[in-house]
Amino acid sequence: MLSILIPTYEYDCSELVCCLHQQCEEVVKTKAFDYEIIVADDRSQSYIWQNVQATIQELSHCSFIRMDENIGRSRIRNLLAKHAQGDRLLFIDCHMDIIADDYIQRYLDTDADADICQGGYVVARNDSMKENLRYIYEYRARHLNKKQPNGSNGNRDFHTSNFLVKRQLFLDHPLDETINRYGYEDVLYGKQLNEIGIHITEIDNPVGFSHFESNEAFVKKTEDSIETLHFIGERIGDYSRLRSIAQRIKRWHFAPILCCIFSLTKEKMRENLCGSHPNLHVFDLYKLLYLLNIDCNE
Q: CA 96 to CA 15: how far, in whole Å?
A: 10
Same domain membership, residue 146 and residue 125: yes
Q: Answer for the pair 47, 73: CB distance below 8 angstroms, yes or no.
A: no
Same domain membership, residue 259 and residue 159: no
Q: Is the pLDDT of residue 116 over 80?
A: yes
Same domain membership, residue 229 and residue 204: no
Same domain membership, residue 248 and residue 172: no
Q: What percent of the chain is predicted at pLDDT more than 90?
A: 89
Same domain membership, residue 263 and residue 172: no
For the stretch 32-74, pLDDT in tens is: 999 999 999 999 989 999 999 999 999 999 999 999 999 999 9
Band (pLDDT 50/70/90 cuts) for residue 295 is confident
Checking 135-143 for CB contacts under 8 A at 24+ apart, the result is 135/212, 136/278, 136/280, 137/218, 137/280, 137/283, 138/209, 138/212, 140/280
Q: CA 62 to CA 55: how far, in whole Å?
A: 9
Same domain membership, residue 244 and residue 187: no
Beta-carbon count within 10 A of 148 CB: 13
For the residues 186-194, what does the mean pLDDT come to?
Answer: 96
* Domain of residue 20, residue span: 2-209
Same domain membership, residue 286 and residue 158: no
Among residues 168, 190, 209, which one ends one of the domains?
Answer: 209
For the residues 247-262, what does the mean pLDDT come to?
Answer: 95
Mean pLDDT of the chain: 94
Band (pLDDT 50/70/90 cuts) for residue 297 is confident
Same domain membership, residue 264 and residue 120: no
Same domain membership, residue 261 and residue 205: no
**Top-confidence residue, 143 or 137:** 137
Q: CA 156 to CA 54: how far, in whole Å?
A: 38
Beta-carbon count within 10 A of 176 CB: 17
Q: CA 116 to CA 291: how far, in whole Å?
A: 31
Count of domains in the chain?
2
Q: Is 165 helix (H, G, I), strand (E, B) or coil?
A: strand
Q: Is the pLDDT of residue 215 over 70?
A: yes
List the CATH number of the domain containing 26.
Answer: 3.90.550.10
pLDDT at 143: 81
Among residues 209, 229, 244, which one ends one of the domains?
Answer: 209
Same domain membership, residue 286 and residue 230: yes
pLDDT at 108: 95
Q: CA 160 to CA 94: how far, in whole Å?
A: 11
Q: Is the pLDDT of residue 152 over 70?
A: no
Q: CA 284 to CA 245: how far, in whole Å?
A: 11
Q: Is 192 helix (H, G, I), strand (E, B) or coil?
A: helix
Same domain membership, residue 120 and residue 101: yes
Among residues 160, 180, 209, which one ends one of the domains?
Answer: 209
Q: Is the pLDDT of residue 151 over 80?
A: no
Q: Is the pLDDT of residue 236 over 90?
A: yes
Q: Is the pLDDT of residue 278 over 70?
A: yes
Same domain membership, residue 168 and residue 20: yes
